[in-house]
Structure 1
Amino acid sequence: MKKFWLFIVLTCVFFSCSDSNKSNNNPNIPNYAVNAYLNTSLPSYNNLLYVSSPVYVPNYGAKGIIVMKTGEGTYTAFDAACPNQALTSCVAMTIDGIYAVCSCDKTSYNLFTGLGGQEYPMKQYRAELSGSSVHVYN
């Protein structure tokens, strides 16, 4: 019986572990180090106090980052580079409501999920609320 429970526990641990970088690899977007603190008290980042009000932040990642509050204390952060185009062929994606739109192929990507119906989703970064700042990092 002990072997059975050990098998169950090891199986659960094995399947619950995942390599978050593996699903976030994209041959079109290099892996840049990102470590940004966005103070929601500042006018530039004040929209991050409200759900579904994304903010574009230049000078991070490949083409800047897009950050959005998705719920109480939860945020998403994605690279603004078009995930299915060569990095040099497009400018940063633009925000249209809760979507990011690629300038090259006009694909819309949902800022809750990063999905856009193409081969690669948006490149995602970690985002956590830390006091009055949103910490975006990888």
Structure 2
Amino acid sequence: MFRPFHMKNASRMKLISKFQLFLLCVTLSFGSCSDHVQSSIPDFPVSLQLNLTSTYPTFRNSYNKSLTFIKGVSVTDRVGFGGILVYSGFDGTYYAFDMACPYEIKSTVRVYPNDIGQAVCEKCGSVFDIGYGIGNPSAGPAKEALKRYKISLSGDILYILH
């Protein structure tokens, strides 16, 4: 059967367009995962707002200081799986981690900050470097970094989200 030349091109263009759409979808799905680091810690809601002027004035512009939240301050707060550790790093940047140890993977087994930019698991003794916001293990049985949460600062309010 004879098809006009333009019909062949139209079919070919539809096929190419579908293939390009498929490639775009695959690229976007892989690209969106590149910023997300897999964690053994289950995903739980995280939503916390800290007023650095009225409620936490000593935390603002300080280095090597931390705040921990096992329960929310208000009824709308969500503090992840094991609680939230908010840390003002050596570089003056704020960081947030889930307090659950990635080796123990229990909401009741937590890491707590020390005075030298580390968080230490109360059960297994794993030590995590948090001073520059990475959360990588530096000692103990843990091989996985602490689960990190996104932080944004708008005026005097520090937002922690997941």
Specify the TM-score bucket, using the shorter chain as the normaliser.
0.7 to 0.9
Residue 93, structure 1, aligned to residue 111, structure 2: yes
Which structure 2 residues correspond to residues 20-39 of structure 1 after superposition, within 5 A? 20-21=35-36, 23=37, 25-27=38-40, 29-39=41-51
Q: CA deviation at 1:119?
A: 1.7
Matches of 1:110 and 1:48, distance apart in 2 = 21
Matches of 1:41 and 1:86, distance apart in 2 = 34
The match for 1:47 among 59, 74, 81 is: 59
Q: Which amino acid aligns with 1:96?
A: N
Matches of 2:99 and 2:57, distance apart in 1 = 16
Deviations 1:32-81 (A, max 9, x none): 12111111124556324312111112221111111112334x31110000
The match for 1:110 among 129, 132, 140 is: 129
The TM-score with structure 1 as length reference comes to: 0.74
Q: 1:91 to 1:48 in 2, by over 3 A?
A: farther
For structure 1, the residue ranges without an aligned partner over 5 or more in a row are 1-12
Matches of 2:95 and 2:150, distance apart in 1 = 7
**Conserved 8 A contact 1:39-1:133:** yes
Paired residue total: 121
Matches of 2:159 and 2:105, distance apart in 1 = 28
**Conserved 8 A contact 1:48-1:54:** no
Greater Rg over alpha carbons, structure: 2
2:68 corresponds to: 56
RMSD: 2.5
State the identity as a percent: 23
- Larger relative contact order (C-alpha < 8 A, sep ≥ 6)? 1
**Conserved 8 A contact 1:65-1:78:** yes
The TM-score with structure 2 as length reference comes to: 0.64
Matches of 1:45 and 1:137, distance apart in 2 = 21
Residue 77, structure 1, aligned to residue 96, structure 2: yes
Matches of 1:51 and 1:85, distance apart in 2 = 29
